[in-house]
Amino acid sequence: MAIRKILRYGDDFLRKEAKDVHKVSKKIQDLVIDLLDTMYASNGVGLAAPQIGEGYRVFVVDVSSNDEPYNPIVFINPKIIKKSGATISREGCLSFPEAYTDVKRYSNVMIKALDRKGRSFVLEAKDGTLLARCIQHEYDHLDGVLFVDHAIDKFEVEEQLSKNNLPPLEINRILEEKELDEEINKLLEKIDTKNENE
């Protein structure tokens, strides 16, 4: 199929909520192929349809390492049905070339979706693995949420954005994440206690 243009941060389309797929038609299957082609061509581990200007609830991930065979996973109309634990993870995004920052994520997620043939499946990703984090990152794109909205250090994000000629942080988009913050605090306490005991 085709390698598509990836929208950059600053494009309003990235902030739009995507629509459910009513039927996994040929058009949607072609979109999945474009997403995979574009993700692999950009050396990404995930890509969501809104990033290529398609407002459908579809994303793809492949967290296999370079020496492993491709292992694409396709998510259509995904729903995160369970989430727990917390982790801090350094992330980037194909819509934010060269910008990276630490963000808050759940460590464990259970997600339900349709695969590229329209069959329902449930997948569990645990322990803050790349897969668990990547699923949350891509899922967010379907709701117009971007990784910088979960940022821990606003100043670092500002620095990263300006260094890479990207628009400034949208402060009003920063998420209030009470549940996740509580988990993060527990995590930090655990690290502190561990340090004291050493």
Find, among 46, 45, 52, the residue nearest to 11 by Cα: 52
Q: Which of 54, 68, 124, 138 is catalytic?
A: 138
Task: Choose between 86 and 147: whose C-beta lies nearer to Zn ion.
Answer: 147
Strand partners, 89: 103
What is the end-to-end Cα distance of the chain in Å, rounded?
56
Closest approach, Cβ 193 to Zn ion, in A, equals 34
Interface residue with Zn ion among 6, 31, 32, 93 (CB under 5 A) is: 93
Closest approach, Cβ 138 to Zn ion, in A, equals 7
Strand partners, 121: 113
For residue 167, count CB atoms less than 10 angstroms from its CB and return exposed for 0-12, middle for 13-18, buried for 19 or more: exposed
Q: Which stretch binds Zn ion (CB under 5 A): 27-35, 92-100, 121-129, 169-177?
A: 92-100
Closest approach, Cβ 110 to Zn ion, in A, equals 21
Closest approach, Cβ 23 to Zn ion, in A, equals 26
For position 63 contacting Zn ion by CB under 5 A, the verdict is: no
SS3 content of the chain, % helix, strand, coil (to 5): 35, 25, 35
68 catalytic, yes or no? no
Residue nearest to Zn ion (CB): 93
Task: Choose between 60 and 93: whose C-beta lies nearer to Zn ion.
Answer: 93
Angstrom distance (rounded) from CA 14 to CA 51: 6
* Residues near Zn ion, by CB under 5 A: 93
The set of catalytic residues is 138
